[in-house]
Structure formats: C-alpha cells, structure tokens
Structure 1
Amino acid sequence: MSTSEQHTPDAQGDHVWVDVQNSPDFVELRRRLRSFVFPMAGLFLAWYVAYVLLADYAHGFMSTKVVGNINVGLILGLLQFVSTFVITTLYVRHANKNLDPLAEKLRNELEGGQA
C-alpha cells in the first residue's frame, strides 16, 4: 500500500462516522471519559513521582522501620500496586455507569442507521 494513495469517502460510510463524532451524544461521551481519565491519571502520576522522589532523596524516611523489617519504602511501594487496583475498580464502575450506556446508544443508532 502506497502512502500516496488518497482515501476518498464513499457516499454511505465515512460521513456517518463524522456525523457520529460531531453528535452531542459522542461529545458528551468524550467529556465523561476525559473528566475521569485526565484527573485520575494526573493524581496517579503525582503519587508515583512523589514515591520516586522520596525513594531517591529521602533515604532516611523511606528506611524507617514500621514493623520488624518492614519499612516505609516497602509499604509505599506496595501501595503503588493497591492504588493501581483501586483506580482500575473506580474506572470500571465509572465506565459501567456513565460511559457504557451512552456508547451502547450510539452504537445502536449507528448500526440501526439512525445516526
């Protein structure tokens, strides 16, 4: 396949996707997705950077023993995994409640020819 080939929209296909992309429901779907994903990604990134900076610059704090040989660094490291699972669970709930019904509506309209 050549990179110089031009894709020309057919009369029935491509314009439908553009229409759906510009529809109020699709715009709302993107808004709902972004309103969850962007803040959550920022929060997790800040938490991860804080962990890395503490590990690099706060050796004394991170090596503070909490119980036996378990120190603050180990606990915070394990909390990275816990926070990943929590974020995943929150996203699944958000998607099931706020994204999937609207996506299903859009899909039904598109497949049914009502878009």
Structure 2
Amino acid sequence: MNAQEFSSYKQLIPGSNLYFKMVPIPAGSFTMGNKKIELSEFWMGAFEVTRDEFDIFLKDEQTSQNSKLDAITRPSPQYVDLSWGMGKEGGYPANSMSQLSALMYCKWLYQKTKVFY
C-alpha cells in the first residue's frame, strides 16, 4: 500500500451527518513473554464508537431480519441505565454491549459503506 492510501481518513455513516476517523497503524513487532510478535499494518478507529453512532445501527429499520422466525420476544426493560451515567448523546462512547453486538454493528457498517470494518 502506498503512503497516500495508508493515511488517516474520515468515514461518513450513510443516512446521517455523523462520521468516524480511521488512523493507520504501521507494521511492527513487540515481545510478549519470550515470543516476538510480528504485526502487519492495519487500521484503527481514532476514537471509541460513540453512542450516537451505535444508535443509528440500533434504530435502522432496514436491518435484515430472519424471515424464518415465527415469533419475536423482547427482553424486559433495563433495570439500570447501561450508560452508567456517562450519557447517551453528544459523543459519549458506546458501552455495555456484547461482543456479538459489536460484530453486528461492524457487519451493518460494511453493508452501508462497502468498507470492511
């Protein structure tokens, strides 16, 4: 990858006015215990995914549904605010989600942007 392609960029989340910044992490190595670990270059979000960004995914009515379902159940309302008082709007980080929720967010983001995250 040339230097121009491997530079920071901002990605607009389609259907919103929100974007996130990606930064390049160069290839390198580090030692973990007695083992030397080699990493190739990769991209990383400059900041955590915000609650505002994650809520676009949660509220997207076009998210594919399983057509073979014969019933839908919902969990009971949350007993506590899972933002733990950190806030939900205005750039606060999304928290208290499962690894599966994070994976589904990335898949949804790929469907919207055509960029694999």
TM-score range, shorter chain: under 0.3
Tell me: higher relative CO, structure 1 or 2? Use CA pairs within 8 A at least 6 residues apart. Answer: 1
More helix by share: 1
